[in-house]
Amino acid sequence: MTKIRLDMGDRAPGIDNGHCEEDKSNKERGSLMATLMRTLLYPRHVELGAQIVEFGGWEMPVQYPTGIIKEHLATRRHAGLFDVSHMGRFSIGGSDAVPFLQQALTNNAAALEPGESQYTILANEEGGAIDDAYLYRFEDERYLLVVNAGNREKDWTHLQELKSVFNDVVMEDLTLNMAMFSLQGPESKTILTQTLGSDALPLPQRNALAVTTYNNSRILIARTGYTGEPLCFELFVTAEQALG
């Protein structure tokens, strides 16, 4: 916190100086932090000394004591594990799920086979972008749509409006009931293979999906991610699993 030197001789009566502005800023910041959401692993991030910042309505770790450069190099040379549970996660099913997704998204949802995923855009009626997203088809009859954290409520409202013209679309917001982790880097496959076994991983191609179990718990695995690494995985587990 910046220290403000108070000198009454430099203040005109009735005019707020920096000290009052700082108090106001601190109150606003405190109010904001009180309303922010936290991922399930927030206590662990704090325990590890993470610098916590506001991002998309969440309190998120931006870096650890080792520093961003070391974290970056560790991911590029070995592997990095990211808590991305702040991302919005919507489950979409029902007999009209595919027509609904074709209406809501720019990519061809009908082309997705079980075990495949695709990058896509939520579009408005004019074709403009509302948000970018990823659509996963882990199961035959159900899709998982991952959207940006800061747009989650807006996206949900938009999709609910579109949903009203379809007879059978079932949507559920899984954001608070499902954790999401991103394991990225050249050693990510080795780490998962050693932990889960080679048969548990998706096919060796980007956007491939797999469903496996570990300690009697179901894990959804995707060959997706935004770090630019050729070897990248994203994992989805229930809240109970994440805390177990």
Closest alpha carbon to 175 in 107, 102, 88, 115:
88
**Secondary structure (3-state) at 59:** strand
Ranges in the chain annotated CATH 3.30.70.1400: 96-173
**Residues 158, 160, 164, CA angle at the centre, nearest 5°?**
120
CATH T-level fold of 96-173: Alpha-Beta Plaits (3.30.70)
On whether the CB atoms of residues 191 and 114 are closer than 8 A, the answer is no
Q: Is 186 exposed, middle or buried (0-12, 13-18, 19+ CB in 10 A)?
A: middle
Q: What are phi and psi of 219, to 5 degrees?
A: -130, 130
**Secondary structure (3-state) at 31:** helix
On whether the CB atoms of residues 194 and 203 are closer than 8 A, the answer is no
Token couple for 42: 């927030």
pTM: 0.84
Q: Considering only the top CATH level, what class is 79-85+176-243?
A: alpha beta
Alpha-carbon distance of 146 to 209, in angstroms, equals 14
**With the C-alpha atoms ordered 124, 127, 129, 132, is the resulting torsion angle positive or negative?**
positive
Ranges in the chain annotated CATH 3.30.1360.120: 79-85+176-243
Q: For the packed helices 152-163 and 97-104, what is the interaxial angle rounded to 10 degrees?
A: 120
**Residues 32, 35, 38, CA angle at the centre, nearest 5°?**
110
pLDDT digits (tens, 9 = 90+) for 198-239: 899 998 899 999 999 998 899 999 999 877 677 899 999 999
| Beta-carbon contacts of residue 31 (< 8 Å; ≥ 6 apart) | none
Rg (CA), the chain: 22
Query: What is the pLDDT tens value at each position of the chain, 244 positions in all?
Result: 222 222 323 333 333 344 344 444 445 544 444 589 999 999 999 999 999 999 999 999 999 999 999 999 999 999 999 999 999 999 999 999 999 999 999 999 999 999 999 999 999 988 899 999 999 999 999 999 999 999 999 999 999 999 999 999 999 999 999 999 999 999 999 999 999 998 999 988 999 999 999 988 999 999 998 776 778 999 999 998 888 7
